[in-house]
Copies of this chain bind each other. A is one copy, B any other.
Amino acid sequence: MTTLVDVAKKANVSKMTVSRVINHPDKVTDELKRLVYDAMHELDYHPNMIAKALVNKSTMIIKLCILEDIDTTEPYYMNLMLGIAKTLDLHQYSLQLVTRRNFDIGNCDGYIITGMRQQDVEWIKKLTKPVIMFGENRYGLDYVDTNNKMGTYLLSQLALKKGYDRLIYIGIDSKESFEYSREAGYIQQVQEKRMVPELYRFDNHSHLGEEFIEKNWDNFTKNTAFICASDRLAIGIERGIARRGGKIPEEYGVTGFDGVFLNQVASPKITTVKQSIIEMGSTCGENLLDKIENNDTQGSILFEPKICLGGTLRE
């Protein structure tokens, strides 16, 4: 493998000059720069990241910590990893996939953490390396997420625009930040129209949505739209309505959130918020590397929700 010294010899300069050409090119004359570039090119020189890491006391490793149990049937985490990996590869960083148990094994330059619960805040705040969360939180930890509030706000708005005159929110029965935000988006839209919010919450299983509809069918006047906090719940609602003979989208509207795999199974397809997890993961990586390399305190990043029209709202 060619090293700095090889290049230096070829270009008849000291290795420091070569190093400067790479890291502080403005401090080297154009003439020498060209000499060095030529030599580098000729020898097919690639800097040794390990040596660099040693002097910088860095590791070129990012740990991705998934705190939830991983449901491998959901493409969510796979997409996240693909996105992160894309960015890291580009910058020659590599990835360690860790869980809470093996979190402390080995060093790294920064962390991406996802699936955080309240009890995790404490130890996460104690970390001494840059951290970015994937998924919103309200503990002051920087994060990357879809703008959840805006998502349900827009879906509610769309439902109203399509002429549904009653909006019911079907939420996830959990105390996580994203759920509060989704509720908030719905509530804001409804209140702006001087309507009364109606919220129900269930564990995130489609059959719970289905049962809810079946049991309470008589309460649901025609021309109602259900704004659901997840595609799972939306699919359940959809099935429930179908069972009771309700017509979607003519009589009832349904919206979801997420763009999970299950949506492919639904019929008609749910109108939902599509999240590009890959892109978000990629941004998440960029953000973290920025923090690491430029000591930048970026703050959080919200992705604007993209509404993905299915067949569960009119027109």
Please give the residue numbers on chain A whose beta carbons come within 8 Å of chain B beta carbons, in ascending order. Answer: 1, 46, 48-51, 53-54, 57-59, 61, 70, 72-73, 75, 77-79, 81-82, 85, 88-90, 92, 94-98, 102, 105-107, 261, 264-265
CA of A77 to CA of B105, assembled, Å: 24
Chain A interface, >50% SS class: mixed
Q: Which 3 A-B pairs have the closest CB atoms?
A: A85-B97, A72-B75, A94-B94
Partner of A53, one of B50, B79, B96: B50
On chain B, the residues within 8 Å of A59 by CB distance are 49-50
Q: Nearest-CB distance from A162 to chain B (Å)?
A: 30
Tell me whether A49 and B97 are in contact in the complex, defined as CB-CB below 8 angstroms, given that A73-B75, A79-B72, A89-B102 are known contacts. Answer: no
Q: Nearest-CB distance from A301 to chain B (Å)?
A: 22
Q: Nearest-CB distance from A242 to chain B (Å)?
A: 18
B82 near A78: Cβ-Cβ < 8 Å: no
On chain B, the residues within 8 Å of A77 by CB distance are 78
A265 near B264: Cβ-Cβ < 8 Å: no
On chain B, the residues within 8 Å of A50 by CB distance are 50, 53-54, 58-59, 107
CA of A94 to CA of B59, assembled, Å: 10
On chain B, the residues within 8 Å of A73 by CB distance are 75, 261, 264
CA of A77 to CA of B51, assembled, Å: 32
CA of A53 to CA of B92, assembled, Å: 16
A89 near B106: Cβ-Cβ < 8 Å: yes
Q: Nearest-CB distance from A284 to chain B (Å)?
A: 15
On chain B, the residues within 8 Å of A1 by CB distance are 57, 107
With A51-B54, A73-B261, A75-B78 given, name 5 new contacts (CB 8 A): A46-B106, A46-B107, A50-B54, A72-B78, A90-B105
Q: Nearest-CB distance from A199 to chain B (Å)?
A: 31
Q: Nearest-CB distance from A226 to chain B (Å)?
A: 24
B89 near A96: Cβ-Cβ < 8 Å: yes
CA of A97 to CA of B92, assembled, Å: 11
A-B contact pairs, 24 of them (CB 8 A): A1-B57, A1-B107, A46-B106, A48-B107, A49-B106, A50-B54, A50-B59, A50-B107, A61-B94, A70-B82, A73-B261, A82-B97, A85-B97, A85-B98, A88-B96, A89-B102, A89-B105, A89-B106, A90-B102, A90-B105, A92-B105, A92-B106, A94-B94, A95-B97
